[in-house]
């Protein structure tokens, strides 16, 4: 099953799997993002982050492999009376054609072997001074039942980020234990990697 089939099946169910509120860590970083520059959400799913940042005046583009997730994002955008540009694409095939002032991702489960290529694309399409901010499940998440994949190749370590983004300043790359309260999909104690990286 490819990523689109996998995620479409999940998003076909009623409701918003990770809720409608933005990810708390991305929200806490809002001060890093410039409203005058394009804002890109990677693996944005049903759109909770995209809608929030669009409602705050950012010019948001959301990418995801799931067309069902992005349709639900569009419904949420209409309800919130905001505009978000969407594109259904597998990030392994994504070819960035624009530059972005901000790039965010919450719980984007990319396979370990695909990360380096994606990180290079993120680095290349960030504007000088722009930020990449993300929260990802760490390999230690395997011991928790609060959500996330049970396949270690989809979980992250600090090294994944410290060995990449070589032209950037790494303000934060840390592994923390937190309590997630994000819809039905993420509930309870979790181990995450948080990154704040600046071009």
Ligand X SMILES: C[S@@+](CC[C@H](N)C(=O)[O-])C[C@H]1O[C@@H](n2cnc3c(N)ncnc32)[C@H](O)[C@@H]1O
For residues 32 to 61, the per-residue mask of contacts with ligand X, x marking binding by CB under 6 A and - elsewhere, is -----------xxx--x-------------
Question: 44 or 59: whose CB is closer to ligand X?
Answer: 44
Contact 17, 11 (CB under 8 A): yes
List 37, 92, 157, 187, residue binding ligand X (CB under 6 A): 92
Question: 105 or 197: whose CB is closer to ligand X?
Answer: 105
> Does 85 engage in binding with ligand X (CB under 6 A)?
no
CA distance from start to end of the chain = 35
Smallest gap from Cβ 152 to ligand X, in A, equals 16
Smallest gap from Cβ 128 to ligand X, in A, equals 26
List 90, 145, 151, 159, residue binding ligand X (CB under 6 A): 90
Spell out where the chain has E strands: 39-42, 60-64, 84-88, 100-106, 126-137, 169-182, 186-198
Question: 9 or 169: whose CB is closer to ligand X?
Answer: 9
Question: 123 or 183: whose CB is closer to ligand X?
Answer: 183
Nearest to 197 by CA among 144, 99, 145, 123: 123
Question: 11 or 161: whose CB is closer to ligand X?
Answer: 11
Residue 57, judged by CB atoms within 10 A of its CB (0-12, 13-18, 19+), counts as: exposed
**19 SS3 class:** coil
Residue 1, judged by CB atoms within 10 A of its CB (0-12, 13-18, 19+), counts as: exposed
Judged by the rule CB under 6 A, the positions of this chain that interact with ligand X are: 3, 7, 18, 23, 43-45, 48, 64-66, 69, 90-92, 106-110
């Amino acid at each position: 099953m490819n990523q689109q089939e996998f995620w479409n099946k999940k998003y076909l169910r009623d409701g918003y799997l990770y809720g409608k509120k933005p990810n708390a860590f991305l929200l806490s970083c809002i001060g890093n993002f410039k409203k005058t520059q394009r804002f890109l959400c990677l693996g944005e799913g049903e759109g909770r982050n995209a809608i929030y940042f669009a409602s705050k005046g950012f010019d948001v583009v959301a990418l995801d492999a799931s067309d069902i997730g992005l349709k639900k994002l569009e419904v949420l955008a209409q309800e919130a009376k905001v505009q978000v540009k969407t594109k259904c694409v597998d990030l392994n095939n994504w070819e960035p054609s624009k530059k972005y002032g901000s790039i965010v991702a919450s719980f984007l489960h990319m396979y370990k072997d695909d990360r380096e290529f994606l990180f290079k694309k993120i680095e290349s399409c960030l504007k000088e001074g722009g930020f990449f901010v993300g929260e990802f499940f760490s390999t230690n998440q395997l011991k928790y039942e609060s959500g996330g994949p049970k396949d270690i190749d989809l979980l992250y370590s600090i090294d994944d980020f410290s060995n990449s983004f070589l032209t950037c300043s790494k303000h934060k790359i840390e592994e923390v234990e937190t309590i997630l309260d994000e819809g039905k999909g993420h509930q309870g104690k979790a181990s995450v990697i948080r990154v704040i990286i600046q071009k």
